[in-house]
Amino acid sequence: MVDVVSTLIRKVFDATRADLGGQVADYIPELAAVLPDSFGICIATVDGHVYEIGDTDVPFTIQSISKPFTYALALQHRGTTAVSEKIDVEPSGEPFNEISLDPDTERPRNPMINAGAITAASLIPGKDVATRFEKIRAAYSSYAGRDLAFNDAVYRSEARTGHRNRAIGHMLRSVDIVTDDPNDVVDLYFRQCSLDVTCRDLSLMAATLANNGTNPVTGTQALEPELVEHVLSVMATCGMYDSAGEWLTDVGLPAKSGVGGGVLAVLPGQIGIAVFSPRLDPHGNSVRGTAACTALSKELELHFLHVPRAARAAVRARYSVSEAPSRMRRSTAEREVLDDVAKNSRVYELHGDLLFAGAETAVREIGAIEDGVEVVVIDVRKVDEVSNVARRMLEMLRHDLSDHSCGVALVDPSGLLGNVQSDLSGRHGRVFVDLDSALQWCEDLLLERHCPTFGSSASIELHEHPVLEGLTTAELEQITRNLEIRDFARDEYIVRRGDQAVGLFLILRGRVSSVLPDGKGVTHRIMTLSPGMTFGEMTLLLETRFLNDFRADTPVTAAVLTRDDYANLATRSPDLKLALVERIAAGAYEQMELTMRTLVQAGAR
């Protein structure tokens, strides 16, 4: 399996792991005892896929990352109006544990600082602290997708040393922001901060917010979509305390940090990010967590003010060359081989905007191809916008597939991915301006690998042509006397649309395409013919004009039975003419069948 996104995440992980700045939180004794250099990064997508590296299964307490989730629970139970009468939503510009209220409203400035978080906890209904805490634990668990455990040792450590938070609780009680016993409310706050999570848990909690409140793994609706918008808005402006403005400018993601070393960030509609690293900066934010999120935002172009115009899946269609053969007519031997091995190909049609999330879904699916796939086509003709990170991800995917001996063709007539045909050449990569040319290249590559006679039919002798098979020696000699050998240069038009019937062309060398202009200056290929094939038969038999052009794609040699010589056969050798007509009719029917099959499959896509 080729995993481009994991490679990019590892790059960020390796670049930031050497940063050992900062100190673990020491005002809570249990937090001071953690391993300071633990480090993990997780990214969870809105369809539930998780990328992870490092210490992603190490439990640590959620601490202040709990704040947006309790705030969300308060909004669910009390409503936005009632909650806004208790908690403002403005950045404070002060440390998270400041003992202060807004001087005008006498309310906590936002729910992300301790005063606002304690107030939010007081709004959770229940007959006692245990009942309220169970509501909180169950709510957090619905975001994480599993039951979260309570860390009693950290709780008792916080309860022994949390005098500043108790002071905040009594301040809130003195102005009737908190109406219950402030000691019980602060105790509930200590409990919510003492739930154990892992980096993976946090990434799924973030992905649930990114997924409009629905857990992408379990499908549980943890929060109503309109409340998700409210919570993410406050996280964006207040989640990183007095460095929130710098964070929003540099990282551009709604986020929340905790003194346990976790950082949670959300890219709405796309991904959730979690980083765990216990060393903190003076603001109480993880040093490596901040650095990793900043690097991820830049590396993956995640700033939430740069968003795709439409949230559509990037992969529009997927199929194999066996389901969509090219318009290249093949010999019987080649068709038999392709019937067996064309399943070893994949075609992916992409569409919409390719920013990180769209590119991630595409490279994840394409990179997960099963063993045995030998060639891949990536069609970007319906893609509108491509970010730099998407280009890099697709280029990395191409190189990785090539390293696994899988050929890659890009259908990119506009050069959206920054490649031209000369950039990707040879057996493992090409750029094409149309899909059919890429499909033909796929078939050729498969035939090179699996058909021993492929390439040996670059030219044939006249007596080897299938139209002449079955004729007696005398008949073959007679018809040979009536055939003219003609040569055509590359790109020369052999016949033009509207021309009268010229004769029957038996291709002995090179390739000929039937093409048709569309009136807009674009020439469309209808079918490509190779040695052993014919054209001109229908106009000859029906005495009609050509409906499309025939052009030499390479230098071509053909044996031509002219219109006059064909007519003379009826008089001189009626049996020979009948045998020839039967051979021509069989070949024409075969060609029509292949054309119809191709058109039907193209329509189905």
Would you name the residues annotated as active-site residues?
Answer: 64, 67, 189, 241, 259
**Which position has the token pair 């018809």?**
479
Torsion angle of C-alpha atoms 186, 187, 188, 193, degrees rounded to 10: 90
* Main-chain dihedrals φ then ψ at residue 442, nearest 5 degrees: -60, -50
Q: Burial of 457 by CB count in 10 Å (0-12 exposed, 13-18 middle, 19+ buried)?
A: middle
Instruction: Find out whether 424 and 408 touch, Cβ atoms under 8 Å.
Output: yes
- Rg for the chain (alpha carbons), in Å? 35
Which residues are CB-neighbours of 376 under 8 A, at least 6 positions away? 345, 346, 347, 348, 366, 369, 401, 406, 407, 408, 409
> CA-CA distance, 11 to 298, in Å (whole number)?
12
Instruction: Find out whether 224 and 82 touch, Cβ atoms under 8 Å.
Output: no
**What are the structure tokens assigned to 437, written together?**
């040319």
Q: What angle do CA 218, 230, 178 make, to 5 degrees?
A: 105
Other CB atoms within 10 Å distance of the CB of residue 249:
9
Residue type, 283: H
> CA-CA distance, 59 to 106, in Å (whole number)?
37
Instruction: Find out whether 167 and 99 touch, Cβ atoms under 8 Å.
Output: yes
* Main-chain dihedrals φ then ψ at residue 154, nearest 5 degrees: -65, -40
- Going by the DSSP 8-state scheme, the letter that residue 180 receives in this structure is S
Helix axes of 4-16 and 356-367: crossing angle, nearest 10 degrees: 120
Tell me how far the alpha carbon of residue 401 is from its chain's centroid: 16
Q: Which of 74, 158, 155, 153 is nearest to 108 (CA)?
A: 74
> CA-CA distance, 45 to 272, in Å (whole number)?
6
Q: What is the largest CA-CA distance in the chain?
A: 119
- Going by the DSSP 8-state scheme, the letter that residue 499 receives in this structure is P
Instruction: Find out whether 483 and 476 touch, Cβ atoms under 8 Å.
Output: no
Which residues are CB-neighbours of 521 under 8 A, at least 6 positions away? none
Q: What b/e string do you get for 215-241 counting C-beta neighbours within 10 Å, with b at 16 or more?
A: bbbbeeebbeeebbebbbebbbbbbbb
Instruction: Find out whether 513 and 525 touch, Cβ atoms under 8 Å.
Output: yes
Helix axes of 574-604 and 563-572: crossing angle, nearest 10 degrees: 130
> CA-CA distance, 254 to 235, in Å (whole number)?
5
